[in-house]
Amino acid sequence: MSSTEELPEIRLEDLSEATQKAVRDIGWEELMPVQAKAIPYMLAGRDVMVQSRTGSGKTGAFLIPAFERIDPEIDHCQVIIMVPTRELARQVAADAEKLARGRGLRSAAVYGGVGYGEQLRVLKEGAHLVVGTPGRILDHLMRRSFHLDKVRVLIFDEADRMLSMGFYPDMKALARYLPKKRSGYMFSATFPPLVLSLSRQFLNEPEMLSLSAGSEHVAETTQVYYEVNSMEKDRGLIRIIEVENPDSAIIFCNTKAQTHYVMKVLQRFGYDADELSADLSQSAREQVLAKVYGKKLRFLVATDVAARGIDIDNLSHVILYDFPEDHESYIHRTGRTGRAGAGGEAISLVGVLEKLELKAVAKRYGIDMERRELPTDEDVQAVVTERVTALLEAKLRGLDNLVRERMERMMPLARNLGKSDDELAVIAMLIDEYYQESLHAAPTPDGEKKSSGDSSRQSTGYRPKHQSQGGRGRGRRR
């Protein structure tokens, strides 16, 4: 990464009058910290990676300087913003409309899961700024709905979530449509190895700007916690994994019995998981470690003693299923991720009493701890819907003409299916099987998938809350 001289912060009064008016018209009286720090780099055309949480004002941090870089006389896309979900695309586009009001600048939102008609119309009018999901942007480029040859600014918003949604192959394919001379900016809450790999492919000697804890360096490990009822931890863990979609993780438990139970829960939900505990024979332990070091295992469930001495490269997550018995163990566990310049995430599942212990650890070691709401069934369903839509649309784009012609035979059946619950179940089964095969193996930097392990372990993935999952959680609702 570049070590160019740090730029001073900017004030609202330092921006153009048009920008000041637009900002004040939507109720902002001054720039937020992430805006004051990041905007100077973007105006200077210096590629930058900004580490900042949601709600910090990052949307304004890239929209404000983006509009400063647009020439309204050129009716072509000059700024392209990639986001992970249709909801965020709509939100960013709405903010862009407010900031562009009265300036003769046009913006468009494009995303999958909906028809092309309205999107084609706004693109044909010559949108200066286009925000959308990578898959649908790629669709439009392949249809020649618009072109990127005039693009001056490329922006990734929530880059870590984009990769967790499965967009890496689309982003890689999209690169060939971009002009070589452009500015690039990446915003992400975390910078795990895959995100750093993405930055090297799309940005030119980017500088790192972190807003974590008021410092300007990569916060190597993001520390978060979820409050979870002790009787619902297994369900909570699955929801978190479905939403977060970690590349790789060690999941720590305090006992051998708990380690075995958590591994079985993960396997029954279709995840590639194995365990390390004192009960394993030496040969079994060596087999597990061979998968770990060969990067053929996504989730390792372990006790502190069993995991002693294990060092996994590019580990994106550490999950504390059980809170450790002493504070030093918390530091040892979470220190497994966020190494060698890459970011990582440490997630703790805590009950009421464990939360008090966690706060004591945070106070003792000066840790900035982020609380997150446990995902609901609806949250998981929304994420999975967007993810599987992106995967299926990407698969459709990759079909050759012969396969598309053959596929026409199935169109009448596809139109008729879904008219009864039994037919809907057939569709749901096929989609779920594809989702399991495509996503429940960990992604790698080259966009391929790691082996998802023994296919006999694969199940039907995330289950409705009325179904049980065996073990301690049997029969309870989430």
Rg (CA), the chain: 23
Compute the distance between CA of residue 157 and CA of residue 195 in angstroms, rounded to an integer. Answer: 12
- At 127-170, the pLDDT tens digits run 999 999 999 999 999 999 999 999 999 999 999 999 888 898 89
pLDDT for the residue numbered 468? 35
pLDDT for the residue numbered 453? 36
Asked whether the whole model's pTM tops 0.85, one would answer: no
- At 416-429, the pLDDT tens digits run 887 888 888 989 99
Low-confidence ranges of the chain (pLDDT < 70): 1-4, 54-55, 211-220, 338-342, 439-478
pLDDT for the residue numbered 211? 64
pLDDT for the residue numbered 260? 95
Compute the distance between CA of residue 247 and CA of residue 364 in angstroms, rounded to an integer. Answer: 30
Question: Residue 397: exposed, middle, or buried by beta-carbon count in 10 A (0-12, 13-18, 19+)?
Answer: middle
Taken in order of first residue, the domains within the chain and their CATH numbers are: 12-214 (3.40.50.300), 221-372 (3.40.50.300)
Query: Cβ distance 186 to 266 under 8 Å?
Result: no
Identity (one letter) of the amino acid at 17? Answer: E
pLDDT for the residue numbered 417? 85
pLDDT for the residue numbered 340? 57
Phi and psi at residue 163, to the nearest 5°: -70, -35
pLDDT for the residue numbered 455? 34
Residue 119 corresponds to which tokens in the numbers above? 């999107």
If one counts every other C-beta atom within 10 angstroms of the C-beta of residue 390, the result is 26
pLDDT for the residue numbered 339? 65
